[in-house]
């Protein structure tokens, strides 16, 4: 289900690009999409009302289940904590990103990685717990970088606005991670690929949404 329209649109493409690598040509899985108004999520998250977030996610899960979905997922990093609440009473199972991302980082034998996303995600435990139990250190952006990244996401990227100055600033953040000894960077924002790609990044990227897309296709194949 969609939270940010821009992030969901990117993720939709990522699903089918992963399917093209894992399946025969054009044999992609069926995909249904449902969204609630973005403002409802933003208001709930800013109020720290995770039960409201869970209710919104569960409502979408119920609608998707009625459409024939076998499982559901969202690429939005900011609402991952709400999934635990949405799972209670959900008619179909959920697939989540943090564990998949941690496994991908571990498989590459990385020991120190940076993370870029909203302040809530980079300073919270969405990924830090899953990586920490594997002995992987997660470095957060400097406070001024965290503020700027938050602004770029909420004031620009969720509206599909892409500015060269913002792109340059985010790439500078990645360079600072490299200077601190990071071996990779987690893109913990579904809109981040609008600015950052492996071609322009100084460090290897772990795009959480793209990793989820691969996991979703594999889950669909297994059913």
Q: CB neighbours (10 Å) of residue 34?
A: 17
In three-state secondary structure terms, 187 is strand
pLDDT, tens digit, for every residue of 175-218?
999 999 999 999 999 999 999 999 999 999 999 999 999 999 99
pLDDT at 25 over 90: no
Output the pLDDT for position 183.
98
pLDDT, tens digit, for every residue of 47-71?
999 999 999 999 999 999 999 999 9
Question: Of 98, 162, 84, 164, which is closest to residue 127 (Cα–Cα)?
Answer: 98
- The answer to whether 189 touches 158, Cβ cutoff 8 Å, is no
Threshold 0.85, pTM exceeds: yes
Residue 185 Cα distances to 1, 15, 133, 137, angstroms? 25, 21, 18, 11
Task: Give the domains, in start order, of the chain with CATH numbers.
Answer: 5-96+211-222 (3.40.50.1860), 98-208 (3.40.50.1860)
C-alpha torsion sign, points 164, 166, 169, 173: negative
The mean pLDDT value for 160-179 works out to: 98
pLDDT, tens digit, for every residue of 95-147?
999 999 999 999 999 999 999 999 999 998 889 999 999 999 999 999 999 99
Tokens 């990071």 belong to which residue?
Answer: 182
């Amino acid at each position: 289900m969609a939270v940010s329209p821009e992030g969901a649109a990117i993720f939709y493409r990522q699903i089918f690009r992963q399917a093209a690598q894992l399946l025969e040509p054009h044999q992609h899985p069926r995909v249904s999409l449902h969204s609630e108004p973005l403002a409802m999520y933003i208001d709930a998250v800013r109020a720290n009302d995770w039960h409201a977030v869970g209710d919104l996610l569960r409502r979408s899960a119920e609608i998707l289940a009625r459409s024939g979905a076998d499982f559901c997922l969202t690429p939005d990093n900011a609402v991952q904590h709400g999934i635990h609440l949405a799972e209670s009473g959900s008619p179909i199972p959920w697939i989540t990103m943090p564990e998949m991302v941690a496994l991908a980082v571990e498989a590459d034998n990385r020991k120190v990685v940076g993370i870029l996303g909203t302040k809530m995600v980079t300073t919270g435990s969405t990924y830090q717990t899953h990586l920490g139990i594997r002995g992987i250190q997660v470095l957060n952006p400097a406070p001024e970088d965290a503020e700027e990244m938050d602004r770029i996401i909420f004031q620009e990227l969720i509206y599909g606005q892409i500015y060269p100055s913002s792109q340059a600033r985010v790439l500078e953040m990645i360079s600072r991670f490299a200077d601190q000894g990071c071996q990779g960077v987690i893109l913990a924002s579904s809109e981040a690929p609008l600015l950052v790609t492996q071609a322009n990044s100084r460090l290897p990227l772990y795009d959480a949404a793209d990793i989820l897309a691969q996991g979703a296709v594999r889950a669909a194949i297994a059913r």
